[in-house]
Amino acid sequence: MPAYFFSLPMFGLSYVKFDSMTYVMQFRNGRLVREGRGLAFFYVTMNSSIAAVPLGSNDLPFIFNETTADYQSITIQGQLTYRISQPKQLAELLDFTVNSAGIYKKNELEKLNQRLVNEAQTATSAYVHSLGLKDSVRSNKAIEEEITAGLRASAAVALLGIEVLGVNILAVRATPEMERALEAETRERMQQEADQAVYERRNFAVEQERRIKESELNTDIAVEEKRKQIDEKRSETQLQRAANERKLRELQVQSDIAVEASRAQLLEQQTANQRLAAEAQGYVTETTLRPFRDMDWRTLTALQNNPSPRLNIALAFRELAENAGKIGTLNITPDLLEGLLGEAGSTARPGQAEPTPVSPHRDSPADPSPEDPRRGNQGPNTPKNNRR
């Protein structure tokens, strides 16, 4: 309680000055003569008394023991915040008189604090008795609400002129033995939860592994199914290709058969045409040569009117060969042949081709005469190159 006191003992006067957070009441001869906050005044020490009530908020720590519903002791530790809202009413119940040095004659604040702690314990006692040990140590907020509601509803607190600003429960603790027991129980439960978590994690890993394997197997099954479908499709395609190739080969064979049939018809027609052409040519040739059939080859040779000396020499030698049986001796020297050939060459006109003598059997008729050399009665000296 900040205050300033100044005394004048020789005159019996004193001066006092209080701060603004102190409610001051001056009594003179038992009567209230002055009251208010933060007063400063002179007073006569012999017939005056001063009461100073602090108006600021106070923090009251408290700790008390209670028993739970399962007969276990707990300790409740907290803090109560309050202020004096009715200082004049409180001054009538408690003594807040100060001496000339500004010091309280009695420690009434401690009494006030104890009353508030008792009221707080009374307010929470019934609630704690209805809870078990485990629930109690976890009910800080509920205990705060119970104490606050109990103090605000308390008639004793209202008579004191106290306004409760707030209650804070800092701890609710069991005895050390019970704490160790709870810790052991909690530790075991947490260990079980840890074991359960490990089991669940392993079970989850196994389940995931099983799902992965099932997924892999399903994938393999799907792949094999696709391969099977592909093989079936490939087989169908091969069968279809083979059937198409077979049909193409059949069509090709039928086409070849048709071509060969057409070719056979063509060959037959060509053969028939060639036969007809040959028959026509034979008929033309026969008709053409029919007038010359009965003519002698010499006549035919003469009809050619060939002036070649060599041809005449050749005909002469042929006549000699045919009449070789009538000739006794015939000497033909090389000089004679050379002279004959030379004369024949000189008489032939330069650049004129010598005509080829007509073979008797080409111009002779089909039924040759007895003189025809083709009948095979030639003489022994008949040259072989005359037979074609």
| Exposure string for 120-141, b = 16+ CB within 10 A, e = fewer | bbebbbebbeebebeebbebbe
pLDDT in tens, 208-227: 999 999 999 999 999 999 99
pLDDT in tens, 188-203: 888 888 888 888 889 9
How far apart, in whole angstroms, are the C-alpha atoms of residue 276 and residue 76? 146
End-to-end CA distance of the chain: 176
pLDDT of residue 358: 39
CB-count exposure of residue 89 (10 Å: 0-12, 13-18, 19+) = middle
- Identity of the residue numbered 24: V
pLDDT in tens, 54-113: 988 899 999 989 888 888 889 999 999 999 999 999 888 888 888 877 788 888 889 999
pLDDT of residue 2: 54
How far apart, in whole angstroms, are the C-alpha atoms of residue 32 and residue 198? 78
CB 38 within 8 A of CB 63: no
How far apart, in whole angstroms, are the C-alpha atoms of residue 152 and residue 109? 19
- 103: which 2 tokens? 């010091």
Number of CB atoms found within 10 A of residue 175's CB? 14
Name residue 171's beta-bridge partners.
77
CB 148 within 8 A of CB 79: no
Please check the confidence at residue 359 and state whether its pLDDT lies above 50: no
- 192: which 2 tokens? 């079980």
pLDDT in tens, 145-179: 999 999 989 888 898 899 999 999 999 888 888 88
| Residue corresponding to tokens 């091969």 | 238
Q: Which of 80-84, 174-178, 272-276, 376-380 has the lowest mean pLDDT?
A: 376-380
CB 14 within 8 A of CB 43: yes
Name residue 16's beta-bridge partners.
5, 41
How far apart, in whole angstroms, are the C-alpha atoms of residue 347 and residue 300? 23
pLDDT of residue 360: 39
Q: What is the mean pLDDT of the chain?
A: 80
pTM: 0.47
All domains in the chain, ordered by first residue:
3-175 (3.30.479.30), 296-321+357-388 (no CATH)
What is the C-alpha radius of gyration for the chain, rounded to an integer number of angstroms?
Answer: 82
How far apart, in whole angstroms, are the C-alpha atoms of residue 57 and residue 116? 14
- The length of the chain is 388
How far apart, in whole angstroms, are the C-alpha atoms of residue 106 and residue 23? 17
How far apart, in whole angstroms, are the C-alpha atoms of residue 34 and residue 25? 6
CB 108 within 8 A of CB 68: no
CB 169 within 8 A of CB 139: no
- Identity of the residue numbered 278: A
In the DSSP assignment, the letter for residue 241 is: H
pLDDT in tens, 308-349: 667 777 777 777 777 777 777 777 777 767 766 665 555 544
pLDDT of residue 222: 92
In the DSSP assignment, the letter for residue 371 is: T
